[in-house]
Copies of this chain bind each other. A is one copy, B any other.
Amino acid sequence: MAAKRRAQMVEETRAKLIQAARKAFATKGYAAASMDDLTAEAGLTRGALYHNFGDKKGLLQAVIGQIDAEMVARMRAAQDQAETRWLGFLAEGVAYIEMALEPEIQRIMLLDGPAVLGDPSLWPNQTACLRATTQTIQTLIDEGTVRPMDAEAAARLINGAALNASLWIAAADDPHAVFAKAVEAFRYLAVGLRQAES
């Protein structure tokens, strides 16, 4: 039984560090988050951190990987409960906007992540979100709902539009009203992708 204790303990400390990092990065931002404070709050020291993640950027990567997985799950959920594929695609976009409204996701995934690790498309995970959107669009192209075009290109632009919408909403005085405007504009934009009726 001691054979498993080892790996389990390691997994626990990694989880503790990631959780503490999520909190610190989200509230203070990556640059202002102190590794000493961070590890202390997890009941550890910087030694554990450097042993497990190499450096500060490594820790950020781990945090991003965790959040990314959660985002994909939520996008799938939104898509699955839509009636048609097209509506599922729209729901996916709206779900993305909603997620990007959360301060934690905004700060870590949208602001600090790209600044520290470079463009998300180069990340190890390849931002699973983007893959999900690309796959959805490809399916819509195959079934003739969307014009024949590069699915990844469409996914990237759509994601970018949704992303900026979120940043806008988050900074607004009246998020609710702005959210409505953004979703309306988003639907119009998406319509541009559709195949002209034959």
Q: Is the CB of A153 within 8 A of B185?
A: yes
Q: Is the CB of B150 within 8 A of A161?
A: no
> How many angstroms between the C-alpha atoms of A102 and B170 in the bound complex?
28
The contact of A160 among B115, B116, B160, by CB within 8 Å, is B160
Q: Mark A144-164, 1 if CB is under 8 A from B, else 0.
A: 000101101110111111111
How far is the CB of A67 from the nearest CB of chain B, in Å?
16
> How many angstroms between the C-alpha atoms of A119 and B116 in the bound complex?
16
Residues of B within 8 A of A9 (CB): none
Interface size class of A (residues with CB under 8 A): 35 or more
Which 9 pairs between the two chains have the least Cβ-Cβ distance? A160-B164, A192-B192, A115-B115, A157-B161, A153-B185, A191-B192, A153-B181, A150-B181, A160-B160
Given A112-B115, A156-B164, A160-B163, 16 additional A-B pairs, CB 8 A = A31-B31, A115-B115, A122-B171, A149-B184, A149-B185, A150-B185, A154-B189, A156-B182, A157-B185, A160-B164, A188-B193, A189-B189, A189-B190, A189-B193, A191-B192, A192-B193
